[in-house]
């Protein structure tokens, strides 16, 4: 009988498009992946993949086999989901990626309760501001802020993301507060870490304003620290600066203007007919934690 692990390896090679990517996703070397695919082909007596130095593609036999393998793996996953669904426990390793600042501020402090409820589940969390290929990189789940662009992924909305203009009281005392949107040209404005224009919406409708400040960085946390320290005006998400707004270390400026981009905080995972219990439980946990009106907005 064919080894089920070889079927999973074969399916992962096809979905990622290369032996090396499949190896990264499964924690195996490309050589081991190649050996297991070859073993599968020898057992079946037919070539499943056409190989080049850069990528692999399915043969005609491979395509038909792949279509049927997906059904087999989906059936196994359904059985596992059924069994896991009969218990509140989850096992194995859950690999998660999330934005650096958000993960540090709004995921890490809340992990204790989840880990207590699921002592047999190991969490592997990678914080990065780069959008990784969660399939190729072997992640079960990504927490993302923005819009879903990859139609092969499923996104579950966790919370809305609201952005506003803010500055420190010290900056306001030294430079005054802008009275209208055109006054920003006379102020020190701190660009976003990706140097994009501020997309704003207010009484005058929507506009794009490109700040030309003295600080350019690829780090969102540097901009955050700079605006708190009084370096200028910045456009920040409320999840990022709500505590400073409450305690007075920051004040909102031009309150009638806010970010116009309708961003969302989402849990993103590969499109599967049957969602693994470990993913479902963690997404449910985050959804209950944040809710339609997240705690940082209250």
Kindly list the distances between the CA atom of residue 214 and the CA atoms of 136, 217, 241, in Å, as whole numbers in the listed order.
Answer: 38, 10, 21
pLDDT of residue 296: 94
* pLDDT of amino acid 270: 78
Q: What sign results for the dihedral spanned by CA atoms 207, 213, 217, 221?
A: negative
Query: What pLDDT is recorded for position 222?
Result: 92
**Is the per-residue pLDDT at 151 higher than 70?**
no
CA dihedral in degrees (291, 201, 143, 76; nearest 10)? 80
Between residues 193 and 224, the one the model is more confident about: 224
Q: 67: helix, coil or strand?
A: helix
Q: What is the pLDDT of residue 149?
A: 61
Looking at per-residue pLDDT, the higher value among 128 and 229 belongs to 229
Average pLDDT of the chain? 86
Q: How far apart are CA 34 and CA 30, in angstroms?
A: 6
For 10-69, the pLDDT digits (tens) are: 888 888 888 888 888 788 888 888 899 999 999 889 999 988 766 788 889 888 888 888
Phi/psi for 190 (5° steps) reads -100, 115
Residue 202 has a pLDDT of 92
Instruction: Give the mean model confidence (pLDDT) for residues 237-256.
Output: 96
pLDDT band at 92 (very low <50, low <70, confident <90, very high): confident
pLDDT at 100: 92
> Domains along the chain?
4-83 (1.10.10.10), 92-160+263-297 (3.40.190.10), 163-259 (3.40.190.10)
pLDDT band at 73 (very low <50, low <70, confident <90, very high): confident
CA 191/CA 186 separation, integer angstroms: 15
pLDDT at 264 over 80: yes
For residues 203-218, average pLDDT: 88
CA distance linking residue 228 with residue 217, whole number of Å: 16
Kindly tell me if the per-residue pLDDT of 273 is higher than 60: no
């Amino acid at each position: 009988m064919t080894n089920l692990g070889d079927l999973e390896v074969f399916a992962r090679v096809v979905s990622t498009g290369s032996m090396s990517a499949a190896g990264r996703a499964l924690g195996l070397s490309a050589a081991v992946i190649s050996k297991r695919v070859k073993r599968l082909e020898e057992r079946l007596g037919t070539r499943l993949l056409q190989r080049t130095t850069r990528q692999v593609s399915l043969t005609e036999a491979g395509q038909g086999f792949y279509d049927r393998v997906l059904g087999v793996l989906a059936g196994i996953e359904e059985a596992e989901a059924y069994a896991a669904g009969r218990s509140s426990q989850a096992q194995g390793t859950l690999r998660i990626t999330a934005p650096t600042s958000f993960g540090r501020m709004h995921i890490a402090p809340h992990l204790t309760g989840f880990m207590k409820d699921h002592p047999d589940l190991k969490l592997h969390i990678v914080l990065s501001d780069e959008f990784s290929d969660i399939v190729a990189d072997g992640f079960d789940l990504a927490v993302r802020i923005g819009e879903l662009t990859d139609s092969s992924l499923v996104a579950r909305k966790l919370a809305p993301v609201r952005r506003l203009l803010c500055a420190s009281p010290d900056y306001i005392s030294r430079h005054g507060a802008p009275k209208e949107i055109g006054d920003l040209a006379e102020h020190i404005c701190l660009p976003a870490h990706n140097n994009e224009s501020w997309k704003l919406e207010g009484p005058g409708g929507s506009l794009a304003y490109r700040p030309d400040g003295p600080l350019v960085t690829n780090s969102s946390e540097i901009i955050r620290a700079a605006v708190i320290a009084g370096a200028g005006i910045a456009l920040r998400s409320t999840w990022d600066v709500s505590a400073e707004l409450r305690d007075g270390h920051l004040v909102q400026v031009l309150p009638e203007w806010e970010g116009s981009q309708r961003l969302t905080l989402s849990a993103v995972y590969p499109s599967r007919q049957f969602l693994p219990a470990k993913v479902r439980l963690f997404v449910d946990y985050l959804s209950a934690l944040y809710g339609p009106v997240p705690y940082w907005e209250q």
